Chain A
């Protein structure tokens, strides 16, 4: 069965909240009912029918075509099924998702995978700041699942993440893995300054090092750890680049000694 397809009529004049368009919320609804769902974020009403042309299909597989950066909260709290977005999206893509797979064909705004609990989020372009981070006032960011970013990630990727795995195949901005509680963050290309800033626990792997490391991280030598091999085996089907780098010897730095100091940054060899 073909996916349920939503084709953006034109770039919307206001930011839209696409959180109702997840499989578990539209499953069992008729095309008319879906078209009546409201997406506006201002006083001006904007229903699904106003913004998208709909092609009915399997509601467990949602496809959004012609997307743009004004479409926020795509895949919000999704529990299962598949959502594929052909294009860029706005803020908070995949926030609080706990299952299923969300694929963004283009770039995302900030707070993608914020508070994510499970499932797979794949971003084929770049992502903004605060990937997998908590919103203001929240205690923890990502709590489970897998995030793959094929391009660059902005500042503070993995901020306060508690569990789960993030793989960034491009570069990462400053403070990658800041305030990490636990979890695993991989950056294939160079990271910005001060990765792991105030991290308590968790693992950060920097395939190509970083601009500056905090002096509160201490060198523990070069190691070829079995845990990295298990990590490589897990991400192999999602990112061959990450799997290859994880199988090499890595320099282990323990920290951040300014806080608990039970975290670790692994830095790959230059070749």
Chain B
């Protein structure tokens, strides 16, 4: 494989392979930014991978009061799933259990589109007949009486079929500390890109996986080619100086957003340099035959 070097950081001439997904967005507000964030964090918990969690979710950005429908502090949340049916199921369960229950919260559509997902239309039954429908300015809301007043929830949100899941960067460094520093810098840069999330803890995954396993029924297993402790035992993808590998997985509402996030991540890693950060950047793919979206690292260099 050809290797490019930018400011001392080796960048593999390879590509990240990503898949089409269904996605939606929500705006969650509360009386304070802290409680809006709390509701969003709770709702997007256990949503790192569609393989085990049903969906991938995360916080896109925090919103000032001027940018929310009810002029309170808010958070924009993105949810990704492999089908509209699963997305609807996850949305309903997560908003019902994590946002409806959060003090002072309200929930609104965070994306516009032709195809709708039920939001308040599904949760209104919690009102047990006391729920109130309101339409203002072309928007339909449900007011559901709860113990601290009312939970206001927009009737529907939209689903986009242009979403992309599985954009990724594999970050390789000499030690755990420097590799983590590079991954943190990349995750911070990616968090600033609109319409994308990095769904793993803090945006970073340490247990990158490959498809399949030696065990029957296990869909994914450890990516042994990138495990430094197996370097001599398996067909490795690591160089002799590699001591740790971390991965950033990126989901975006559009392919352009994923590319922008990967570009921002690479730029942040390169800026940190090989001494304090990563020595090498790679990307995961399946040979290009499974996912329709290919993000070549050479096209995303700073």
Instruction: Mark A residues whose CB is within 8 Å of B.
Output: 144, 163-165, 182, 184, 201, 203, 223, 225-227, 229-231, 233-234, 262, 264
Contact = CB atoms under 8 A, between A and B. Distances in A.
A7 B32 CA distance: 56
A47 to B, nearest CB: 39
Which of A144, A226, A234 has its CB near the most chain B CB atoms (within 10 A)? A226
16 contacts: A144-B135, A163-B135, A184-B134, A201-B132, A223-B149, A225-B149, A226-B70, A226-B150, A226-B152, A227-B132, A227-B150, A227-B152, A230-B141, A231-B134, A234-B137, A262-B130
B150 A225 contact: yes
Interface of B: 69-71, 106, 129-130, 132-137, 139, 141, 143, 149-150, 152
A74 B152 CA distance: 38
Contacts of A226: 70, 106, 149-150, 152
Contacts of A227: 132, 134, 141, 143, 150, 152
Contact of B71 (A203, A229, A264): A229
Given A226-B152, A230-B141, A165 B136 contact: yes
B21 to A, nearest CB: 31
Contacts of A229: 70-71
A201 B131 CA distance: 11
Contacts, number: 46
Nearest to A201: B132
Given A229-B71, A233-B69, A233-B71, A203 B136 contact: no
A165 B143 CA distance: 16
A103 to B, nearest CB: 19
B130 A233 contact: no
A230 B152 contact: yes
A231 B70 contact: no
A79 B139 CA distance: 20
Contacts of B143: 225, 227
Nearest to A165: B136
Contacts of A223: 149
Nearest to A163: B135
